[in-house]
Amino acid sequence: MSILVVGSVAFDNITTPSGSVQNVLGGAATHFALAASYFTTVRVVAVVGDDFTAEHENVLKKRGIDTRGIERAPGKTFRWGGSYTDNLNEAKTDFTDLNVFEQFQPKIPKEYADTEFLFLANIHPALQITVRQEMNGVRLTGGDTMNFWINRTPQQLADMLRLVNVLLINDTEVKMIAHETNLPRAAQKVLAMGPQALVIKHGEYGATIFFRQGAFGIGHHPFRAPALPIEEVQDPTGAGDSFAGGFMGYIASQGEVNREVLKRALFYGGVMGSFTVERFGTDRVQSLSREEIDARFQIFRELTHLE
């Protein structure tokens, strides 16, 4: 099975209570692709500038990620600066230099046409829609968005929601889309807008999946997965995208897509997010092993297991 991610490849400047780094490889598509690469074949569609070197590309290639869809445009790669003070769950954006990302028009190589799973990372919903329509043979589409699009392009976002099977966003974003402060009610409203399942990320507290009635099998209840309490979170950047990479990657690695698979995928999402935050940038997730991932999956099970 294979999965295609469309989104940002970036250079990040990050400041956290543990220190700061400059020009580290980041971007939603990068974090997603690295995390998903432990489960399935990953293909990327993104744009970078002249400052993106073979060394940067090798970080992805070493994980077997197909980079043929990374377009090189004249100019600089997208740059993002973020800092975290007391609340490690929320980044404050210091700057966003779109650079070549401003004119991004995703181009899907023909070799990618047979991809079974699709993840639309956080980009303009109009672009997400174009990609989804072009990849009309996929088995399952996951999607992400952010407050910027929720506020600026609500109509296009609503159109995008009708085209994704699983939406993965954080709890404040769900409430913002639904104009509703109660989480389960907000979840029901967002599900009524299109997705069959909604994965709500609660930062360091885990994630909950809500299902549309009858979707992916029977059952009425949402399901919650924990997060691993980590003593030193060095850098939360990319946790959400690595979560999505673990979640979607695990689903793509299974023959079937049903509620049990989606619940286990929620655990694998948490596992990949927990690795990401242990080091700055992509440091931790670019050099893991499947054994380390499965050992941590066991810890996640034990966190919530009752005799």
Q: Which of 69, 59, 167 is nearest to 115 (CA)?
A: 69
Q: In this chain, which of 3, 6, 21, 28 binds ligand AMP, going by CB under 6 A?
A: 28
Residue with Cβ nearer ligand AMP (257 or 272) = 272
Closest contact distance (angstroms) between CB of 214 and ligand AMP is 31
Q: In this chain, which of 3, 21, 27, 43 binds ligand AMP, going by CB under 6 A?
A: 27
Closest contact distance (angstroms) between CB of 14 and ligand AMP is 8
Residue 36 Cα distances to 60, 114, 154, angstroms: 11, 18, 29
Determine the residue type at 83. S
Closest contact distance (angstroms) between CB of 186 and ligand AMP is 20
* Joined tokens for residue 81: 């600066």
Q: How far is CA 106 from the centre of its chain?
A: 17
Residue with Cβ nearer ligand AMP (153 or 254) = 153
* Joined tokens for residue 151: 């506020």
Q: Which of 7, 237, 243, 27 is nearest to 124 (CA)?
A: 7
**Range list of β-strands (E), the chain:** 2-6, 10-16, 19-26, 41-48, 70-72, 78-83, 92-97, 117-120, 140-143, 166-170, 197-201, 207-211, 223-225
Distant-in-sequence, close-in-space partners of 307: CB < 8 Å, separation ≥ 6: none
* Spatial distance between the Cα atoms of 248 and 194, rounded to a whole number of angstroms: 18
Residue with Cβ nearer ligand AMP (142 or 238) = 238
Counting contacts by CB under 6 A, is residue 240 touching ligand AMP? yes
Closest contact distance (angstroms) between CB of 237 and ligand AMP is 5
Query: 100 to 159, contacts with ligand AMP by CB under 6 A?
Result: 122
* Joined tokens for residue 88: 């490690």
**Count of chain residues binding ligand AMP (CB under 6 A):** 15
Residue with Cβ nearer ligand AMP (239 or 257) = 239
Half-sphere exposure of 152 (CA within 13 A, CB side): 9
Q: In this chain, which of 12, 171, 173, 235 binds ligand AMP, going by CB under 6 A?
A: 12
Closest contact distance (angstroms) between CB of 137 and ligand AMP is 26
Closest contact distance (angstroms) between CB of 55 and ligand AMP is 18
Q: In this chain, which of 3, 6, 26, 59 binds ligand AMP, going by CB under 6 A?
A: 26
Query: 75 to 94, contacts with ligand AMP by CB under 6 A?
Result: 80
Residues in contact with ligand AMP by the rule CB under 6 A: 8, 10, 12, 26-28, 31, 80, 96, 122, 237-241
